[in-house]
Structure 1
């Protein structure tokens, strides 16, 4: 298969593109792409381009674009809102795997029991780009800055937002409610779970409780399980 390169500034009507110096060096020196070698370009906004190397220069590798395809966004987008773990490696793993499976937006939440109070998105965004290229998808998920749960809750549509928590009480399996035709938002708490007050605040807005099964999952495992569950539910519903 042709190698894929990320070109975020590439317009749909472009006929050529020059890779940045680091990507040019990787393409020519590492991948050993020569003139005429086929490649794929994606801009993370649904556009995919068939191209070929026109000038295998390790500093300015020029590409000629021969075809363009636009893939529309998912009609039922998924928004994952998750409290990042203290160990950032586990969030990097989550972003990688969630991007591979397919998620439209990830918002990072600062909760009462959060162990991580600050978060820089630069490395996570690079991991998302790498996962996008590897998985062959066309839409790069939007990563939103860390924000307080209390500020986040009023911004979502409560009828299609669900909170996964471990407190006692009635909870619906996520698979039963995840296939909303307008998409959904899933809230995953920190390793110590949401506090009763945070859960009550969500309920007060009309957000419903869901369960991901009987096992007690780590934060990143629960988040990835939620992404997969939503995908399966949407496929079964034909969305």
Structure 2
């Protein structure tokens, strides 16, 4: 199925979708009514963030929200549901958030944020990150709202089943050589700005090491480049 283009996409959580009606409030309501100046009878697109986009007609506008009726349901498959990006917290929140935003636009839907021994900065709020990926999902007209999990250590990444891919500059294997299949989970693990410690590296087998480029990349650059290569 072809993706949408040239339209505005709004979000509504599944619990606000009742049979053939959707109730929209808060920021999206304000944008629809006060910014886009939509009125009753206009068509808009709404996603539940779970692979469905609803072509809807505005039925009723009130002071604190609006109701739309569903005219058509478009369903999309999450082609990267088995891909997880494990990203360390960075010194610059702006750079970290930029990586989240661009990866969401490229279709990554699972993020794991972790601390490491050499992480330079250990702050950031999940609530803000969730707003960033929500905005990026709508802006790029995608239908899957990314999930963000936070873990404490690199070792915690090893707990779930799946193949672990550690991005290491000096590895002889390149990411384009990796064949990602739909039957297996893949955890792409990006190093912190201070690098992994030897103890952290020893947690992984040599077969887990892959390189993105011969030169050193900023963490956020590596994250975005990896997302682009996976899509090719």
Q: Same fold (TM over 0.5)?
A: yes
The match for 1:174 is 175
The match for 1:214 is 214
The match for 2:138 is 133
TM-score (norm 2): 0.89
Secondary structure of the equivalent of 1:194?
Answer: coil
CA distance in structure 2 between the partners assigned to 1:148 and 1:61 by the alignment: 44
Question: CA 1:173/1:221 → structure 2, altered by over 3 Å: closer, same or farther?
Answer: same
1:188 paired with 2:190, answer: yes
Unaligned runs of 5+ in 1: 233-239
Q: CA RMSD in A?
A: 2.0
The match for 1:113 is 118
Structure 1 stretches of at least 4 aligned residues deviating more than 3 Å after TM superposition:
10-13
Q: Is the 8 A contact 2:59 2:67 kept in 1?
A: yes
CA distance in structure 1 between the partners assigned to 2:175 and 2:25 by the alignment: 43
Deviation at residue 117 of structure 1 after TM alignment: 2.5
TM-score (norm 1): 0.87
* Alignment: residue pair count: 226
Secondary structure of the equivalent of 2:99?
Answer: helix
CA distance in structure 2 between the partners assigned to 1:104 and 1:222 by the alignment: 17
Question: CA 1:212/1:98 → structure 2, altered by over 3 Å: closer, same or farther?
Answer: same
Question: CA 1:76/1:62 → structure 2, altered by over 3 Å: closer, same or farther?
Answer: closer
Deviations 1:130-167 (A, max 9, x none): 1111111111111111421122223242xx3210124x
Secondary structure of the equivalent of 2:177?
Answer: helix
Unaligned runs of 5+ in 2: 1-5
Deviation at residue 12 of structure 1 after TM alignment: 7.4
Secondary structure of the equivalent of 1:202?
Answer: coil
